[in-house]
Copies of this chain bind each other. A is one copy, B any other.
Amino acid sequence: MTGPRLTPLADSLPETVPFVGPETQERALGRPFRARLGANESLFGPSPHAKAAMAAAAAESWMYGDPEMHDLRAAIAAHHGTTPAHVIVGEGIDGLLGTLVRLTAGPGDHVVTSLGAYPTFNFHVAGFGATLHRVPYRDDHEDPQALAAMARQVGAKLVYFANPDNPMGTWHPAATVTALIDALPQGTLLVLDEAYIDLAPPGTAPDIHPDDPRVIRMRTFSKGYGLAGMRLGYALAAPPLIRAFDKVRNHFGVGRVAQAAALAALADQNWLAAVQANVVQARARIAAIGAANGLTALPSATNFVTLDTGRDGDFARALLAECVARGVFIRMPGVAPLDRCLRISAGTDADLDILAEVLPQALAALRR
């Protein structure tokens, strides 16, 4: 024996890593990116109070974080008008999605998502051996009716639905989400990924009774709150499902400094409001830069804008490569027909100046 003796499931999983970060690309390029607009991070940064809280908590970093995350869960519960028993905090939405899939779906179970939606969810479904079913987007939106129909057809344990959506940036109003919940078959859990909800217009987040067993909502400090580097997500659901996380989660996984950062960030709603205003402005500017270059912005309820090239995936991939080669880190959807688009994060004026400079150069290079 020379290779590791993995489980049959682990053995069957690909070794290829779908998570190539910008740092890997920078190492390949041999220089840092001029503008980092590909990971939908918040280029406006976290609240100064959050930064100060982290610096202060650094002195306490010899202590494990509270595994119950008592104060943070209480603050999140107060923010949402619910109780700490309805809240679990984890290592980003990525971590929470992994734990949720582990708890609910294994070999023989069926899970539904949209074709081209968040790949990390799919990674977890495969990683725990469940069967994934994908329904196409409709007009660049996730298609709630098709998701519900597929859930009924396959008897899904889980349906993943991001609202607003990533990678397209589009969204459905609250009433559509509520209708989706009502349309799901009995026993199907809706995984409502609201990572971008802080950047969405009023009326996007549905009212859901905190004890509704049909839904788990995922939120994050990585987007509007600007703390992607701290790995902080949380889920809101009925207490029996929240309690189930305790059966398997990494109990000390959210550290002391991260908890301090999240508490301070949540308390500074003025900062969030300022970020929201900056994002609205940045979205308009990205759309204008796109228009000036013949690319059409999709309406966005997120901290990024998806630009339709009007061409196909090969064209978009080539254009993206030209942007990256010129020091602008952006991304794009992975599957057709979404892959005719580029996805560009809301940046500061300085970042978008660079985008405005580079995008016409990249297009010109393709015409040559």
Contact = CB atoms under 8 A, between A and B. Distances in A.
Interface in A18-40: 19-21, 23-24, 27, 36, 39
Interface string A136-174: 000000000000000000000100000000000000000
Given A7-B105, A55-B55, 19 more contacts: A6-B103, A7-B102, A7-B106, A10-B103, A10-B247, A44-B62, A46-B58, A46-B61, A51-B59, A54-B58, A55-B58, A58-B261, A61-B261, A63-B228, A65-B229, A65-B231, A92-B253, A95-B253, A228-B252
Interface string A225-263: 011111100000010110110111011111111100100
With most chain B CB atoms within 10 A of its CB, the pick from A20, A41, A91, A104 is A91
A57 B228 CA distance: 12
A246 B17 contact: yes
15 contacts: A5-B157, A6-B103, A7-B103, A7-B106, A10-B103, A13-B247, A21-B66, A54-B54, A61-B261, A65-B231, A92-B250, A92-B253, A229-B257, A231-B252, A231-B255
Given A46-B61, A54-B257, A61-B226, A252 B9 contact: no
| Majority secondary structure of chain A interface residues (helix, strand, loop or mixed) | loop
B15 A43 contact: no
A268 to B, nearest CB: 14
B42 A62 contact: yes
B104 A24 contact: no
A337 interface: no
Nearest to A101: B7
A229 B65 CA distance: 5
Interface string A321-338: 000000000000000000
Contact of A10 (B238, B244, B254): B244
Contact of A127 (B58, B247, B255): B247
Interface in A46-73: 46, 50-51, 54-55, 57-68, 70
A70 B27 contact: yes
A228 B59 CA distance: 12
A61 B222 CA distance: 9
A104 B6 contact: yes
With most chain B CB atoms within 10 A of its CB, the pick from A4, A6, A67, A256 is A4
Contact of A230 (B105, B106, B255): B255
Contacts of A63: 36, 39, 41, 228-229
Contacts of A313: none
B91 A250 contact: yes
Nearest to A60: B229
Copies of this chain in the oligomer:
2
Contacts of A27: 70
Contacts of A62: 41-46, 226-229
Contacts of A61: 46, 50-51, 54, 226-230, 261
A3 interface: yes
Contacts of A44: 62
Contacts of A23: 66, 68, 70
B228 A5 contact: no
Contact of A21 (B64, B109, B186): B64
Nearest to A68: B24
A213 interface: yes
